[in-house]
A = this chain, B = another copy of it.
């Protein structure tokens, strides 16, 4: 049955890719993206996703796993990293060691709230499978797994992510375009009252590239701003959650933001980058509500010796004074990733018949045009 799902998904995701991206609709963004306008523009990064869609009603499965491999799935993953929690109503495992060591030693894995554990242990088991049963303690036993809550569309209390799904997502890592919207961990997510999920974008910053990937599940419709325009107020109606949420209309949900760069930054500098994701998110209207797990991680693929096991490592550091273009790039790519997560998503029905509409592309263009903010026709 799973195989059937995935066959279906291949078609489904291809459609999602065809749906276009925010800038194809004429949404104006600052800065210059890389060739893919995706986190995979940072050389070496691979993304693997498993998307689980099956059933209806009480048995609706709408979830998955997204994996970001900093140096690719076959060559090991230790990179300098840092993290920031804008509002910590969420989980990102592995951050205690990341903070201590300055190293990200596993891929960043993202799934739904109730599947963090299975993804975490499955990664270790996958690694044991690669390294052998007698493999010694190492940093890969403290993996980084994050989540947002997809229980509006997904039967989250059914625990539908299994070890084999995690293995598949890990093995699926590859460069190139990244499926957005209803894909991987983002399959069942809702963003500003529209269907959301995975979004990505990138920016050139001098000789460097900054890539961002988000799993967007945050915000309420009236908050949404795109290119500074109050789009969420202009496109009202069909809001999910309306009847059965105590905090109806308030900012809730969560967003995980992964910031990658090939600029040679030290761990403390990567924390600086992670904090800037807040400002890109803010541009889309969020105020990071109490219910939101807005947790951000940044890493650098430079410095191959970063995780040298002993002795002295030769490291290159970009001067703090030269980080401004990277800050701008992070804010811009975060903003665009959030919009891409909505533009790339499709209307979805799921758990108990709940339905979340996709952001209507035509109306978005019409509203932006009215506010003189459409970059082209």
> Do residues A100 and B89 form an inter-chain contact, with CB atoms below 8 A?
yes
User: Which residues of B are found within 8 Å of A251, using beta-carbon distances?
Assistant: 324, 327-328
How far is it, in angstroms, between the C-alpha of A203 and the C-alpha of B125 when the chains are bound? 42
A335 to chain B, nearest CB (A): 10
How far is it, in angstroms, between the C-alpha of A273 and the C-alpha of B327 when the chains are bound? 23
> Do residues B278 and A102 form an inter-chain contact, with CB atoms below 8 A?
no
User: Which residues of B are found within 8 Å of A264, using beta-carbon distances?
Assistant: 312
- Per-residue B-contact encoding for A301-329, CB less than 8 Å = 1, 0 else: 00001101111111111111111110110
Candidate in A96, A157, A313 with the most chain B CB atoms within 10 angstroms = A96
Given A102-B269, A278-B282, A288-B276, A121:B128 Cβ within 8 A: no
A67 near B: Cβ within 8 Å?
Answer: no
How far is it, in angstroms, between the C-alpha of A264 and the C-alpha of B159 when the chains are bound? 38
> Do residues A319 and B308 form an inter-chain contact, with CB atoms below 8 A?
yes
User: Which residues of B are found within 8 Å of A349, using beta-carbon distances?
Assistant: none
A171 near B: Cβ within 8 Å?
Answer: no
User: Which residues of B are found within 8 Å of A228, using beta-carbon distances?
Assistant: 225, 227-230
A100's closest neighbor in chain B, by CB? Answer: B88
A99 near B: Cβ within 8 Å?
Answer: yes
User: Which residues of B are found within 8 Å of A52, using beta-carbon distances?
Assistant: none
A90 near B: Cβ within 8 Å?
Answer: yes
How far is it, in angstroms, between the C-alpha of A117 and the C-alpha of B109 when the chains are bound? 13
A146's closest neighbor in chain B, by CB? Answer: B96
A119 near B: Cβ within 8 Å?
Answer: yes
Which of A190-198, A354-362, A366-374 faces chain B? A366-374
A295 near B: Cβ within 8 Å?
Answer: yes
> Do residues A322 and B310 form an inter-chain contact, with CB atoms below 8 A?
yes
A350 near B: Cβ within 8 Å?
Answer: no
Candidate in A95, A228, A295, A370 with the most chain B CB atoms within 10 angstroms = A228
Question: Assuming A91-B142, A101-B268, what are 13 further A-B pairs, CB within 8 angstroms?
Answer: A58-B133, A89-B101, A102-B269, A135-B157, A137-B151, A228-B228, A228-B230, A267-B267, A268-B268, A275-B278, A280-B282, A287-B324, A290-B323
